């Protein structure tokens, strides 16, 4: 496969103007990033969802910044041309502007990300503005925000009544004015998502936000069939990787148990005559 041109924020802006949909998936490791690069995925999000699907926590809150930087760098090595988004973990951008910029800088400088993602609403506008002024592009994650799960009282869709939908629309305008480079809408009905997508020049990525967004993202493990838990309503499963892996491991276990592996073809051979010498030496 011939290397493709680097996907940049300008690429996303151009596709948004042209009405061309943007593809996005999560990735947390080098081989998965390679697969997505070969498949032509435009954007890869190194999401804090790794806390759940990789580390086994029941929320995204426990994941650490250092871990996120490490896996983001691995994804960059696997997908050099994709637009790479580093997800700012819980409380890494909420304490003060200086710490937010310092933490985001690590995603850009150490991991090679093209932008960072922050969960929030109008209250983080000043942080978005300062980070943009510091040359750090920010994608703002709105709607259902997993880091605010305890405030929401669970993982619940947002903007389902006119008042809260209008709040989302207003917040989207504030984020654009603050200098956000893109928006991500999670678990939002199609009606407010359509209004937001049509009223902003920014690329709007949907995550369970209906068909009118400029692009769409889901967790790779969910769509590929690696997760065992119930899927969110908006996820379409495209494979059954968990079952395929299980069968491969079962076959491996069976081959070893039956003595069929390793076979001759899996063994290194001594140089001609050396085995006889070894035997004659009395070591065998």
CA gyration radius for the chain?
23
**CA max distance for the chain:** 89
| H-type alpha helices, 84-189 | 97-109, 125-133, 149-152, 162-178
Per the residue annotation, which of 37, 119, 176, 186 is the catalytic one? 186
d(CA 57, CA 49): 9
d(CA 72, CA 81): 14
14-26: b (≥16 Cβ within 10 Å) or e: ebbeeeeebbbbb
> Residue 283 in contact with residue 270, Cβ under 8 Å?
no
186 is catalytic: yes
d(CA 263, CA 258): 11
Active site residues: 186
């Amino acid at each position: 496969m011939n290397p493709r041109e680097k996907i940049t924020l300008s690429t996303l802006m151009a596709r948004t103007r042209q009405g061309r949909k943007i593809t996005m998936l999560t990735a947390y490791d080098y081989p998965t990033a390679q697969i997505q690069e070969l498949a032509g995925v435009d954007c890869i999000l190194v999401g804090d969802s790794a806390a759940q699907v990789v580390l086994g926590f029941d929320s995204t809150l426990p994941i650490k910044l250092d871990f996120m930087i490490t896996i983001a760098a691995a994804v960059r090595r696997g997908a050099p041309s994709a637009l790479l988004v580093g997800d700012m973990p819980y409380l890494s951008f909420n304490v003060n502007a200086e710490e937010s910029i310092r933490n985001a800088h690590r995603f850009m400088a150490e991991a090679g990300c093209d932008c960072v993602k922050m969960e929030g609403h109008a209250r983080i506008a000043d942080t978005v503005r300062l980070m943009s002024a510091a040359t750090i592009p920010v994608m703002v994650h709105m709607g259902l925000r997993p880091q605010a799960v305890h405030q929401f009282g669970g993982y619940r869709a947002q903007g389902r009544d006119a008042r809260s939908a209008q709040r989302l629309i207003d917040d989207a305008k504030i984020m654009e004015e603050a200098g956000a480079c893109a928006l991500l809408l999670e678990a939002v009905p199609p009606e407010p998502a359509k209004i937001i997508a049509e009223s902003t020049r920014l690329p709007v990525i949907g995550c369970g936000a209906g068909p009118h967004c400029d692009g769409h993202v889901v967790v790779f493990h969910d769509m590929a069939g690696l997760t065992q838990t119930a899927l969110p309503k908006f996820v379409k499963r495209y494979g059954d990787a968990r079952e395929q892996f299980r069968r491969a491991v079962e076959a491996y276990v069976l081959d070893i148990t039956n003595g069929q592996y390793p076979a001759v073809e899996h063994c290194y051979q001594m140089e001609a005559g050396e085995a006889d010498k070894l035997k004659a030496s009395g070591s065998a």
